[in-house]
Amino acid sequence: MNTHPVIKDAKNRMDKSIEAFRSEIAKIRTGKATTALLDGIKVEYYGSMSPLNQVANVTVLDAHTLSITPWDKSVIGAIEKAIMTADLGLNPVNDGTNIKVPIPPLTEERRKELVKLVKKFGEDAKIALRNVRRDANDHLKKMEKNKEITEDQLKDLEKEVQKVTDEHIAKVDEMIKHKEKEIMQV
């Protein structure tokens, strides 16, 4: 099937909206240990601030524990301090060679707040998708007005735009449902 350029453009823009939504909800903590939780942490190392992953190996020990192994043992105190002052609600445990970071489970109330946040991001993504649909339809109407396409072609293409929009909105709904399940899982 030869896809019309307006439809192709709309689909690309909708795909980008979905990707933006995916990366937005990926940052939301689910109560499971993930090295991404410590991504923003900087550690003082020989007088300069260095990202944690440049001075230590950060790994997931189990579902509720991160493990940090510094490459230079002299920096272990600075790493511990950086995590405690990062305001993440984490309490690192230093055993002299490694640091274990237990990830506290989310409270029921916090889980519900996070689900609301995911739904808000989902709503924003759907608004973006509808804006792309509106732009595509406006473009098609102009083409019909300028006699570039017939009225019948306009109707068919508008149906096609709606189909693409519906598919993308269904994807967003599916992603919301999946993330909500992930967050609510204790």
Rg of the Cα atoms in the chain: 24
Alpha carbons 162 and 167: distance in angstroms, whole number:
9
Alpha carbons 103 and 101: distance in angstroms, whole number:
6
State which CATH number among 3.40.50.150, 3.50.50.60, 1.25.40.10, 3.30.1360.40 fits the domain covering 35-102. 3.30.1360.40
Locate the domains of the chain by residue range: 7-28+107-184, 35-102
pLDDT confidence of residue 89: 77
Question: Would you place residue 25 in the very low, low, confident or very high pLDDT band (cuts 50, 70, 90)?
Answer: confident
Query: Which residues neighbour 166 within 8 Å (Cβ) at sequence distance 6 or greater?
Result: none
Residue type, 45: Y
At residue 176, the 3 state secondary structure works out as: helix
State which CATH number among 1.10.3720.10, 2.60.120.10, 1.10.132.20, 1.10.3470.10 fits the domain covering 7-28+107-184. 1.10.132.20
Alpha carbons 78 and 45: distance in angstroms, whole number:
8
Identify any residues that bridge with 56 across adjacent strands, giving them in sequence order: 70
3-state secondary structure 41-97: CEEEECCEEEEHHHCEEEEEEECCEEEEEECCHHHHHHHHHHHHCCCCCCCCEECCC
Q: What is the mean pLDDT of residues 35-47?
A: 85
Answer yes or no: is pLDDT of 116 > 90: yes
Question: Would you place residue 131 in the very low, low, confident or very high pLDDT band (cuts 50, 70, 90)?
Answer: very high
Closest CA to 79 of 52, 97, 57: 52
* pLDDT tens for each residue of 77-98: 999 999 988 777 788 999 989 9
**What burial letters (b/e) apply to 134-156, b meaning 16+ CB within 10 Å?**
eebbeebeebbeeeebeeeebee
pTM metric for this prediction: 0.68
pLDDT confidence of residue 169: 98
